[in-house]
Every structure is written in C-alpha cells, then in structure tokens.
Amino acid sequence: MLAQGITFDFAQLLIDNEIARMIKEVVAGITVNKDTLALDVIQAVGAAGEYVSHEHTYTNFKKEVSQNHLIFRGTRDAWQSAGSKDLTARAYEEAVEIFNNFKIEPLPQEVVSKMRSIVNEAEDYYSVQLSSE
C-alpha cells in the first residue's frame, strides 16, 4: 500500500507477495537433523571437492534455497540484456497479465440473485436509489 495506506497498487501487491514468501522462508529457520547436517555428504565430498553435482544438492535445493520470481538476481550485464526493466516495471507487466487472465469461478446464479435482492432491500431501508449491479 502506498501513501500512508491510502492507495492500492497492483505492482506493490505482487512485490509484497514475493517478500511474504521470503519472510516465510526466514521465519522457518534452520532445521538441524541428520539429513541437514549432511555429515556423510561432507565426508564423501571431502576437501577441495564440489557439491553442485551431488545428489544431496539436487534433492534439497528447491526447499532450501529461495526461488525468486520478480526480483532479478543476475548481474548488471544479464539484467541489461534482459531489457533493463526495473522491479516495478516487471511487477506491473505481470499484474496486467494476471488481471487479464485470472478468473474466479462464478457463484451459482441463484446465490448471485439472492445477494442482489439483499443489497436492494438495504437500499430500500435507507431510501437510496436501487442499484442494478
């Protein structure tokens, strides 16, 4: 929300969504158990080895390392060759995409009509003009 909570903005909604995901990862903390300590893996890789190609990395990286979507984590060169779009621009692009394509399954017609009649009853109660939608 912008301007002291006065203004709603879709780009910020998407950015907040990404931040919320990261916060959940941080508060989840660090799990200490046999698998996460990975003593057998450390001993198998040994000194001057590498972990990138180890099965333990492959099976755990998705849950252990945050997967960003909007925030660009590449170098400046990579960012420039991807079009130099800042975070806000990318968030608006995706917001428009969702806005145009994300649909909610409509409620049954009789539920929609009943809600309409309840709204009209309240309008009648306050003697304001009846709305049609």
Partner 1 sequence: MKTGKRAGFRSLEGMSLNLFTEDELFEIHCATLNVLSDTGVRVLDDEAKDIYDGAGCLVNREDHMVKIPSHVVEDAIMSAPSTILLGGIDSKDDFYLKAGSSIAFTNFGEAIELIDPVTRERHGTTKKDVGDVARMCTAMDQIDFLERPVGADDVPGAVQTIHNAEAIFNNTTMHSFIGSGNGYNCGKMLEMAYTVAGGKDKFMEKPIYSATICPNSPLRLNPDITEVIIAAARGGAPCLFIDMGLAGATAPVTLAGALVVQNAELLASIVLAQLVRKGHPVIYGTSTLAMDLRSTTSPVGSPSLALISAATAKMAQYYLLPSWAAGG
- Asked if 15 touches partner 1 (CB under 8 A), the answer is no
Which of 47, 48, 52, 128 is the binder for partner 1 (CB under 8 A)? 128
- Asked if 61 touches partner 1 (CB under 8 A), the answer is no
- Asked if 66 touches partner 1 (CB under 8 A), the answer is no
- Asked if 35 touches partner 1 (CB under 8 A), the answer is no
DSSP character at residue 52: T
Query: Looking up tokens 């780009």, which residue turns up?
Result: 11
Which of 45, 107, 109, 132 is the binder for partner 1 (CB under 8 A)? 107
Strand partners, 2: 7
Contact criterion met (CB below 8 Å) for 90 and 15: no
Kindly report the CA angle at 22 between 20 and 24, in degrees rounded to 5?
A: 70
Which of 7, 53, 109, 132 is the binder for partner 1 (CB under 8 A)? 7
